[in-house]
Amino acid sequence: LVDRFLEDAFEMDVDCVADGESVRIGAIMEQIELTGVHSGDSACVIPTVMVSEAALGTLREYTRRLALGLGIVGCLNVQYAMLGDTVYVIEANPRASRTVPYVSKATGVPWATVACRVLAGERLEDMAVPDEPLLRGHFVKEVVLPFIKFPGEPAMLGPEMRSTGEVLGMDDSFGMAFAKSQMAAGNALPTEGAVFLSVNDHDKETLLPTARELADLGFRLLATRGTARCLRGAGLGVEEVLKVSEGRPNGVDKVIDGEIALIINTPLGNRAFSDEHVLREVAIANGVPVLTTLSAARAATRAIAALRAGTLAVRSLQDRFGDAR
């Protein structure tokens, strides 16, 4: 199997129910990780935060045309890749996706029940099912990864699904909803301290806005040689730290000594994976959050800013939708 690779694209998911004549979209989900990471291992958010109205219109149109063209009766999940405002269909799955419970909690509509009633012969028009129900707030689904239970396994995301569970964070803002999802997944984000940055050459320029925002939030920046050079070139203050293979004291030593609160690490190539595998493993063992994609780093930075600016509030699903749901 040979797939076309879209560099810097990100994935979208759409869950819907059709009865052969009409279609009801449950939600359009924006994956936080870029394409190339299994959708089951990517955090995602409802409603979308980076997609234009024009692109959303295309997603809705494609989903309806696929559902009706395929004669779907029941659930349909469609996965898309977005590159700018260009929409690519990855696959259409005529079944209930793992995201149906998530969409049901976010919208307050029991989509599995709706699909079962359609399969039993009822029509969507007669059931008064809403199309893409209006949401109050943001809902972030995050995955639970088992790396701490499997020492020695590379703590990296890729095309093979590795997560063993999911959690949900909800709030009025995306940043706070993402922060809650990280807490629920056991990866609570720091609000102060030092951030260790070590990214591949392709990611260095893209890292700069996130690094600058972290510095503005009061974080101290630590980085390996190449990343530090890029940050200094952009006028950011940074302390250079050795890689594991370059000697000591290195990033691993600083994690063990409690000097690092957060790691952003995007290795590329066998040498980098091997060199920084130890760093990620030690960080996980010491409870230091590790972000291995810049898209996750951007989301985490917004979450940290929200935590610094606001008060963490807790609301139940029953408060939002009532006990009946």
What the chain holds in terms of domains, given with CATH numbers, is 1-185+314-325 (3.30.470.20), 190-288 (3.40.50.1380)
pLDDT, mean of residues 197-207: 93
How far apart, in whole angstroms, are the C-alpha atoms of residue 111 and residue 126? 15
pLDDT, mean of residues 229-245: 94
pLDDT, mean of residues 33-58: 85
Q: Residue 274: its pLDDT value, please? A: 56
Q: Would you list the DSSP string of 139-206? A: EEEEEE--GGGSTTS-----SS----EEEEEEESSHHHHHHHHHHHTT-PPPSSSEEEEEE-GGGHHH
- Asked if pLDDT for residue 305 goes beyond 70, the answer is yes
- Asked if pLDDT for residue 150 goes beyond 90, the answer is no
The model's pTM is 0.88
User: Whose CA is closest to 76, among 102, 99, 46?
Assistant: 99
* Secondary structure letter of residue 134 according to DSSP: P
pLDDT, mean of residues 12-19: 97
- Asked if pLDDT for residue 27 goes beyond 90, the answer is yes
**Conformational region of residue 214, where left means phi above 0, alpha means psi within -120 to 50, and beta covers everything else:** alpha
- Phi and psi at residue 291, in whole multiples of 5°? -110, 120
